[in-house]
Each structure stands twice: as structure tokens, then as C-alpha cells.
């Protein structure tokens, strides 16, 4: 490629596009390389996005035909045993009016494409169907551009932003960050199930345009450390289920078979009944935790979003961390261009920006959450069954005195869990959130 | 049991390149040294299959998650992204 760009960005996901928007707003010429045929062609998420963070990049997004599926007004949490489950939920009128689009769902194939269009309109160049295969470096090891799989493949740039997501063969090849070990990622599969809009409205007890999210934990991941979700889209439901990759390797449970079992669970089956499967996908989530975040900058490059392992498992927040870190990276680049200094020490500001934001605060606060789940397998095995047993016993009206039932429940719980183990679980759980 | 993996992959769109982006580095390792053959279990698209005492790769249905690359205990898989514009192409995402 002939032209010289100030900034080369790898990946047109939320991180890369947010950076491209901020750079273009400041008149800096940036080129984004995306390996998919269009932005979003390779991407998936549960589908939840956050209006607050999107508005920082595109303030009037809801008036700009942003492809929103449903505005989320209710969050449910399920804790499931094999045959039943607990559900808690919270719905609030505020989310229909003043706080509309606080949280909403999207399909990433449409959203990422729309988002990239916004960046193009601002003046960024988005080049699709192009894989970045290597980084160019000078004799001192400073990154000076990217190599692509296009015929005229190399492009020099003053600085490179790696926003290439969590699965990065580029990282594996160049070592800009370590390849994750299986225990540092979760593998999730997703199925989109088509249903008529009115049926979704009825089943979730919502008015048109509004939606519900369900976060699910328990026996549903076959004893593995994992989660599932059901999110509402306009005319479909998103079902995701995933677990730690090291657990999949140990248990030898096939991801798609786990998904099929999930679909038959008595809590899930009625919601998807009669629906038509429309798409099946797979992707990783970062589970490495705060301690394993790589160095996010170096001579001539920065890392943003999933590529830097910025993901909050407990609150399933990744896209917002991607957007905010992408914007921070762009601001750091703007400063560096002013100084004409792209060295490591000049880019260090990026880290301070992250440290002073919710990103490092939250990742630090929840750094014990992943280890908590990993160290308490009973959360996914015996505990949901014992809790299911307890509720089933208490709710069964059969003339047995309640005191006797409580004794039976306690005995059943203690069968698999010592008192000290239960106290440990509660204490660790309390400290992790 | 519900839908098979073949049914699921049938829902997806792929722009298949003529050459595979996945390659086993040393086929003998799979058969002689790899007791667990994890690629047969962890892949969400059932790309790897044991056929006639060798591992075959049905790369056409690969969902590009990366799991086989880091999950193979012998790191015996050469893994590249499909050429730009090829591979899986999400409709909804
Ligand atoms: C099942 C699942 C559910 C999730 N649910 C949620 C949720 O509900 N809410 C939420 O906030 N987050 C969720 N996440 C996390 C969220 O999807 C990610 O945190 C977010 O997409 C990260 O954005 P990103 O821009 O960093 O990376 P990505 O979105 O992965 O974008 C990276 C881009 O780079 C491109 N690319 C990669 N390598 C190259 C290369 N070498 N050359 C060219 N292009 C390249 C890719 O094609 C892609 O477009 C979920 C994730 C999964 C897997
Ligand atoms: S896990 Fe790796 S070494 Fe083992 S059979 Fe599969 S590809 Fe071969
Ligand atoms: S990348 Fe994922 S889908 Fe593709 S072969 Fe490997 S494990 Fe299977």
C-alpha cells in the first residue's frame, strides 16, 4: 500500500472502531484492517451493549439508526439444578424512560458494521477482507507498521493499535502478549433462535421494544466452571453457554451437546419452544483475571479490548471495556503525535488512563471472582442439587411437619458439604464480589 | 438428543477457501504420542475426526475460535486465520 498512515489499527471490533472514531474526530488519518468480509462478520457476544459507553463515542447513536434489538428493562438471574431452579429478577420503569438504552441488545454482525460505518463517515479508512499477519519492526525492535495478506501487503505507520480480540494468532506469532493457557479462557457457543416478536413479548411479559436478560449458573454446565445466558432480541433469542477451556479438556464434554441439554432444561425449554435455530457460533472469553493482563503498550504499539484480556466475567462487561480502552488508546496516540514520540515511555500514559478509570478498578475489585468459581466446583455440581432438593421439599405439601423437612434438607446438604466447607464458600464468595 | 452438530453448522454461512487454514504438524504424534486426542472433544464444530487411524480435518466448518490451537496438549496444530474474507461469515453474530 502506497500511502503513509499515522495509525494502523488491527481489528474492526468495538475497541478498534472506537479508537478509529476518536482519531478521525481529531483529524488523524487511521486505517483499520478487518479480516472479515465486513466488520462483525467474525464477531459474537451475548449481545448486551451499554449506552453510556457508546454515547461517549457516538453521542446521538439512537437517532442514527443504530441497530438496537431490544432495550433491556429486566435482569434475571437463575441458579439451576438439573430439574429445576431459582430465579431472581429485577425490573424498573426507569429503564423504559429516563434510563432507556442503559443496556440494550444487538447482533454483532449488524452492530459492528454500523459502528464501522460511523467511523468511515468521520474519515477513518476501514479495509475489510484483510488479515494482519505480522508486525513490521525496525532494527531496534520498535513496531513500525503491519504486514497484511493483501498482494501489496506492508503498511508503515507511526503507531499500531492491536484491537484484534482474544483469539490472536498474531500475538502467538509476534509475542506482543502471551498465548493464553486453556485455563485462562472460556469457550462459549451461541445459538440464535428465531421466534415471532409477539411471542417473545408474551413469554417475557414485556411490551414491544423492551427486553430481558437472563444470566444462568448451576448444574447447567455439567459440573464445569461456566455460565449460560438467554437474551432477548427483537425477533430472536440468543442462547449462550460456555465453560473454562481447561474444564472442557478434562471432562471431555462436547460444547454443542451441552448446548442441546441446556435447551431441554425445564426453565429454558418453554421460552424457546417452537423457535427456529438460525445460527450457531463459538468464541472465547477472557478469564485470565487482573493479574494476567499483559503489558498493554510498548515501542510503537498499544493493545486494547479483548486482546488485552480486559473482561469482567461477573458483569459480562467486555464490549464497554473494549470501547473505553480503544478511546483511551486513541487519546494517548493523539498526545504522542503531538510530541512526535511513539516510544514506550511516551505511550505509558495509556496505562494511567486505564488505572484511573472503572476498567482497572473493576478488574481489580473482581480479581478473586474467577478463582472463587474455580476453587469451588460444588457451585456447579452438588450445591445446586442440594438447593433444588431444599426448595422442592419445602414446597411439597404432603403433611410432613416443616421442622422435619428442614432436618431432612440440612442432612442432605451436609451429605456432600461439611460445615467448614460451607462457611469457606460463603466467606470466599463474599470476598470475591 | 436434539440437533446434531451437522444440523447446527448447516445454519451457518461459510466462504470456503480451497486450502485449509489448519494443519497437523506431525501426524505421527497424534497416533503414537497423544493419548487424550483432545481435539476430538473440545472443538465446537467437530472439525477433527479420527478416521482410519489418522486425524482428519474438516476445516470447512471451523468457527475460528482458536481452542484446538491452545488445547492440543502437543501444540501440534499449525493454526492460521483463513485468508481475508474467507471462513465463517456471521448473519446475526
Ligand atoms: C459468548 C459471549 C458473550 C458475550 N457477551 C457479552 C455481553 O453480553 N456484553 C459485553 O459487553 N460483552 C460480552 N462479551 C465480550 C465481548 O464480546 C468482547 O469483550 C468484545 O467483543 C471485545 O471487543 P474487541 O473489539 O476488543 O474484540 P472483538 O470484538 O473480538 O474484535 C476484534 C476484531 O479484530 C478482527 N481481527 C482479529 N485478528 C485480526 C487480524 N490479524 N487481522 C485483521 N483483523 C483481525 C476480528 O475479525 C474482529 O472483528 C461476550 C463474549 C462472548 C464470547
Ligand atoms: S490433540 Fe493434538 S496431538 Fe492430539 S490428536 Fe489432536 S491434534 Fe493430534
Ligand atoms: S478453531 Fe475452534 S472451531 Fe476451528 S477447528 Fe479449532 S477448535 Fe474447532
**Degrees, nearest 5: CA angle A309-A313-A315:** 125
Query: Residue B20: how many CA atoms within 13 Å on its side-chain side?
Result: 16
Q: For residue A222, which phi and psi values (nearest 5 degrees)? A: 50, 40
Contact at CB, B92 and A236, closer than 8 angstroms: yes
Contacts of B65 (CB under 8 A, 6+ apart): A167, A187, A282, A283, A284, B44
Residues A317, A388 share a domain: no
Is the residue at A86 inside a domain? no
Q: Are residues A28 and A161 in the same domain?
A: yes
> What number of helices (H) and strands (E) belong to chain B?
4, 6
- The beta-carbon neighbor of A255 closest among B44, B64, B88 is B44
The CATH T-level fold of domain B5-86 is: Alpha-Beta Plaits (3.30.70)
Q: Which of A286, A301, A335 is the last residue of a domain?
A: A286
Please identify, among A307, A330, A356, the residue that sits at the C-terminal boundary of a domain.
Answer: A356
Q: pTM score, two decimals? A: 0.96
Q: Do A18 and A148 share a domain, yes or no?
A: yes
Strand segments, DSSP code E, in A98-205 are 103-105, 125-127, 132-137, 143-148, 154-162, 185-194
- Nearest-CA residue for ligand 3 atom 2 is B65
Whether the pLDDT of residue A27 is over 70: the answer is yes
In tens, the pLDDT along A337-384 reads 999 999 999 999 999 999 999 999 999 888 889 889 989 999 999 999
In a domain, A138, yes or no: yes
User: Is the C-beta atom of B16 inside 6 A of ligand 2?
Assistant: no
Complex ipTM value: 0.97
Boundaries of domain holding A317: 5-62+103-178+290-356
Round to whole Å and give the CA distance between A168 and A178: 10
Give exposure, A68-104, as e/b (b: 16+ Cβ within 10 Å): bbbbbbbbbebbbbeebbbeeeebeeebeeeebbebb
The residues with which A302 forms a beta bridge, in sequence order, are: A161, A297
Tell whether the model's pLDDT for residue A248 goes beyond 90. yes
Number of domains in chain A: 3
Helix (H, G, I), strand (E, B) or coil at A396: coil
pLDDT band at A316 (very low <50, low <70, confident <90, very high): confident
A-chain residue closest to B88, CA distance = A42
Whether the per-residue pLDDT at A1 is higher than 60: the answer is no
How far is Cα A364 from Cα B34, in angstroms, rounded to an integer? 39
Exposure of A236 by Cβ count < 10 A (0-12 exposed, 13-18 middle, 19+ buried)? buried
A244 CA → ligand 2 middle, Å: 19
Q: Quick one: A348 and A378 in the same domain?
A: no
**Do A310 and A298 meet the contact criterion of CB atoms below 8 Å apart?**
no
Please report, in tens digits, the pLDDT of each residue of chain B (93 residues total): 578 999 999 999 999 999 999 999 999 999 999 999 999 999 999 999 999 999 999 999 999 999 999 999 999 999 999 999 999 999 999
Q: Assess whether A39 and A115 both reside in one domain.
A: yes
| A134 in Cβ contact with A146 (< 8 Å) | yes
Kindly tell me the number of DSSP H helices and DSSP E strands found in chain A.
16, 17
User: Model confidence over A43-92: pLDDT tens digits?
Assistant: 999 999 999 999 999 999 999 999 999 999 999 999 999 999 999 999 99
**pLDDT value of position B51:** 93
Residues within 8 A of B (CB atoms), A 22-61 only? 35-37, 40-45
Partners of residue A91 on adjacent β-strands = A74
The burial of A120, by beta-carbon neighbours within 10 Å (0-12 exposed, 13-18 middle, 19 or more buried), is given as middle
Nearest-CA distance A79 → chain B (Å):
23
Amino acid at each position: 500500500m502506497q500511502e503513509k498512515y499515522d495509525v494502523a489499527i488491527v481489528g474492526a471490533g468495538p475497541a478498534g472502531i472506537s479508537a478509529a472514531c476518536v482519531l478521525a474526530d481529531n483529524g488523524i488519518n487511521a486505517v483499520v484492517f478487518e479480516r472479515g468480509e465486513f466488520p462483525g462478520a467474525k464477531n459474537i457476544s451475548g449481545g448486551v451493549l451499554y449506552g453510556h459507553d457508546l454515547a461517549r463515542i457516538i453521542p446521538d447513536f439512537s437517532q442514527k439508526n443504530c441497530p438496537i434489538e431490544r432495550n433491556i428493562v429486566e435482569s434475571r438471574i437463575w441458579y439451576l439444578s438439573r430439574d429445576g431452579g431459582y430465579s431472581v429478577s429485577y425490573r424498573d420503569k426507569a429503564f423504559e424512560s429516563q434510563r432507556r438504552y442503559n443496556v440494550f441488545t444487538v447482533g454483532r454482525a449488524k452492530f459492528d458494521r454500523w459502528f464501522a460505518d460511523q467511523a468511515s463517515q468521520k474519515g477513518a479508512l476501514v479495509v475489510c477482507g484483510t488479515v494482519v499477519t505480522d508486525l513490521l519492526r525496525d532494527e531496534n525492535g520498535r513496531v513500525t507498521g503491519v504486514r497484511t495478506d493483501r498482494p501489496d501487503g506492508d503498511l508503515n505507520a507511526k503507531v499500531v493499535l492491536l484491537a484484534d480480540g482474544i483469539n490472536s494468532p498474531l500475538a502467538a506469532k509476534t509475542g506482543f502478549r502471551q498465548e493464553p493457557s486453556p485455563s485462562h479462557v472460556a469457550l462459549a457457543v451461541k445459538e440464535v433462535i428465531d421466534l415471532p416478536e409477539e411471542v417473545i413479548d408474551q413469554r417475557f411479559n414485556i411490551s414491544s421494544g423492551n427486553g430481558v436478560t437472563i444470566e444462568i449458573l448451576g448444574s447447567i454446565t455439567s459440573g464445569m466452571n461456566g455460565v449460560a445466558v438467554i437474551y432477548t432480541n427483537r425477533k430472536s433469542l440468543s442462547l449462550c453457554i460456555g465453560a473454562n477451556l481447561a474444564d472442557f479438556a478434562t471432562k471431555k464434554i462436547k460444547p454443542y451437546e451441552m448446548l442441546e441439554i441446556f435447551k431441554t432444561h425445564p426453565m429454558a425449554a418453554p421460552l424457546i419452544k417452537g423457535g427456529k435455530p438460525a445460527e450457531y457460533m463459538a468464541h472465547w472469553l477472557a478469564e485470565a483475571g487482573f493479574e494476567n493482563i499483559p503489558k498493554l503498550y510498548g515501542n510503537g504499539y498499544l493493545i486494547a479490548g479483548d486482546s488485552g484480556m480486559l473482561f469482567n466475567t461477573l458483569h459480562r462487561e467486555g464490549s464497554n471495556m473494549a470501547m473505553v480502552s480503544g478511546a483511551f488508546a486513541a487519546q494517548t496516540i493523539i498526545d504522542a503525535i503531538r510530541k512526535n514520540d511513539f516510544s514506550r515511555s511516551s505511550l505509558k500514559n495509556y496505562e494511567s488512563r486505564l488505572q484511573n478509570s472503572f476498567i482497572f478498578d473493576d478488574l481489580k475489585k473482581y480479581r478473586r471472582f474467577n478463582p472463587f468459581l474455580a476453587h469451588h466446583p460444588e457451585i456447579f455440581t452438588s450445591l445446586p442439587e442440594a438447593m433444588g432438593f431444599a426448595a422442592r421439599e419445602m414446597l411439597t405439601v404432603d403433611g410432613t411437619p416443616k421442622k422435619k423437612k428442614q432436618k431432612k434438607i440440612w442432612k442432605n446438604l451436609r451429605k456432600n458439604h461439611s460445615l467448614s466447607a460451607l462457611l469457606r464458600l460463603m466467606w470466599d464468595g463474599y470476598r470475591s464480589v | 438428543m436434539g440437533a446434531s452438530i451437522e444440523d447446527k453448522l448447516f445454519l451457518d454461512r461459510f466462504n470456503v477457501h480451497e486450502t485449509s487454514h489448519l494443519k497437523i504438524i506431525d501426524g505421527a504424534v497424534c497416533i503414537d504420542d497423544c493419548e487424550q486426542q483432545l481435539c476430538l472433544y473440545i472443538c465446537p464444530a467437530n472439525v477433527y475426526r479420527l478416521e482410519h487411524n489418522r486425524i482428519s480435518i474438516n476445516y470447512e466448518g471451523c468457527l475460528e475460535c482458536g481452542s484446538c490451537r491452545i488445547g492440543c496438549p502437543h501444540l501440534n496444530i499449525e493454526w492460521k486465520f483463513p485468508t481475508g474474507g474467507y471462513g465463517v461469515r456471521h448473519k446475526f453474530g
